[in-house]
């Protein structure tokens, strides 16, 4: 009985010493948040008892965990390592303890530039330099003040008078130097066009002839184009085709534009010929322009007739 009690006392003492050793080791590892020399430890956690044994500094326990023990890692620091990217540096390291992150010198702008200087990159670092973009010079007709304000030199200024009517523009100066104003030219093109003889041929009798197209026009100058296809429709195809065309006004008087004449002798097979009148025509007042043709042979006809007038030569007066 005495031996049993003595053995129990020795066992309790050993367990107490072991527990103190574990606490001492744990106390060294977990004694608050240290600012330098932080170490990490690894041991085996005994399930149910909440006791960590086989503790050793580093990433492995003193011996392998057995009997359902779980490997546990612990340390006295919250962060085990800090890394930074381009442009930043860690002057006192980033593995443990107090960590300080600063801007890398090669990515820092100088803070001691003199007044009026700017920061420039010289190829390897940022340095203080002269601002080259604040210098201006005045060209022809301009003045530049000391405060970098531009103005127009007197010899290049337009006299004070301006066009008083909305939409007008300056077109020149009179002998007194005053601006002469006018309305802008029309931005569009004025075109008149009329057709006839499409699908149905028009007979061209001898004598006075027939108006293939009659088109009213306003006063002005026009570029006139009158065109028609003429043919012999006797059914033989070898009769003479002889057609004369001209332009006339509303009173049937001839207009001063070149006439057209088509004359194909007998015995020639002719599917059709083109008669064309093209030239400038000036009308002092509004009038009707007639495209008139007549034949000098039998069975002459016209088709695909077109009369086109394009107004040209618009002039504005002040």
Q: How many residues does the chain have?
A: 318
pLDDT at 6: 42
Q: Which of 8-17, 50-59, 84-93, 225-234 has the lowest mean pLDDT?
A: 8-17
Last residue of a domain, one of 75, 105, 128: 75
- Domain assignment present for 253: yes
Last residue of a domain, one of 75, 95, 114: 75
- The rounded distance, in Å, linking the Cα atoms of 129 and 121 is 9
In the beta sheet, which residues pair with residue 121?
Answer: 126
- Domain assignment present for 171: no
| 296 within 8 A of 206, measured Cβ to Cβ | yes
- Domain assignment present for 69: yes
What CATH number does the domain containing 232 carry?
Answer: 2.60.120.40
**Tokens describing residue 36:** 């330098």
- Domain assignment present for 26: yes
Higher pLDDT residue, 186 or 205? 205
- Domain assignment present for 205: yes
SS3 content of the chain, % helix, strand, coil (to 5): 10, 40, 50
| 221 within 8 A of 239, measured Cβ to Cβ | no
Q: Give whichever of 79-83, 84-88, 274-278 has the largest mean pLDDT.
A: 274-278
Residue 68 CB partners (closer than 8 Å, separation 6+): 47
Angle at 202 between CA 198 and CA 203, to 5 degrees: 165
From 74, 76, 75, select the one nearest 32 (Cα to Cα).
76
> Residue 302 class from Cβ within 10 Å (0-12 exposed, 13-18 middle, 19+ buried)?
buried
**Tokens describing residue 289:** 């322009």
- Domain assignment present for 155: no
Cα-Cα-Cα-Cα dihedral sign, residues 51, 55, 60, 64: negative
- Domain assignment present for 100: no
User: Range of 37's domain?
Assistant: 2-75
pLDDT at 56: 92
Note the pLDDT tens digit of each residue in 24-69: 444 444 445 666 777 889 999 998 888 999 999 888 999 999 988 9
Note the pLDDT tens digit of each residue in 61-71: 999 999 889 99
Last residue of a domain, one of 75, 105, 133: 75
From 285, 272, 281, 273, select the one nearest 308 (Cα to Cα).
281
- The rounded distance, in Å, linking the Cα atoms of 73 and 33 is 16
Verdict on whether the full-model pTM lies above 0.85: no
- The rounded distance, in Å, linking the Cα atoms of 224 and 192 is 10
Q: How many domains does the structure of the chain reveal?
A: 2
Rg of the chain, C-alpha, whole Å: 55
- Domain assignment present for 40: yes
């Amino acid at each position: 009985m005495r031996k049993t009690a003595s053995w129990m006392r020795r066992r309790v003492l050993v367990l107490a010493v072991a527990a103190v050793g574990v606490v001492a080791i744990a106390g060294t590892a977990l004694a608050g948040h240290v600012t330098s020399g932080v170490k990490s430890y690894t041991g085996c956690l005994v399930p149910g008892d909440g006791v960590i044994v086989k503790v050793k500094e580093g990433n492995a326990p003193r011996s392998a965990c057995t009997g359902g023990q779980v490997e546990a890692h612990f340390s006295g620091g919250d962060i085990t390592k800090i890394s930074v990217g381009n442009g930043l540096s860690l002057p006192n390291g980033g593995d443990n303890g107090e960590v300080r992150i600063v801007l890398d010198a090669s990515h820092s702008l100088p803070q001691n530039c003199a007044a009026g200087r700017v920061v420039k990159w010289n190829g390897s670092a940022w340095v203080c330099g002269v601002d080259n973009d604040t210098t201006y010079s005045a060209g022809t007709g301009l003045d530049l003040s000391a405060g970098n304000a531009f103005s127009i030199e007197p010899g290049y200024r337009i006299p004070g008078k301006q066009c008083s009517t909305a939409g007008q523009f300056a077109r020149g100066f009179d002998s007194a130097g005053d601006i002469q104003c006018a309305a802008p030219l029309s931005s569009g093109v004025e075109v008149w066009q009329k057709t006839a003889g499409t699908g149905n041929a028009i007979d061209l009798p001898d004598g006075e002839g027939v108006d293939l197209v009659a088109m009213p026009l306003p006063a002005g100058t026009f570029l006139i184009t009158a065109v028609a296809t003429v043919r012999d429709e006797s059914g033989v195809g070898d009769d003479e085709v002889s057609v004369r065309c001209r332009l006339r006004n509303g009173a049937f008087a001839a207009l001063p534009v070149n006439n057209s004449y088509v004359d194909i002798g007998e015995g020639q097979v002719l599917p059709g010929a083109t008669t064309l009148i093209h030239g400038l025509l000036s009308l002092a007042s509004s009038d009707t322009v007639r495209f008139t043709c007549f034949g000098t042979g039998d069975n002459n006809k016209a088709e695909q007739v077109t009369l086109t007038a394009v107004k040209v030569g618009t002039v504005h007066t002040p």
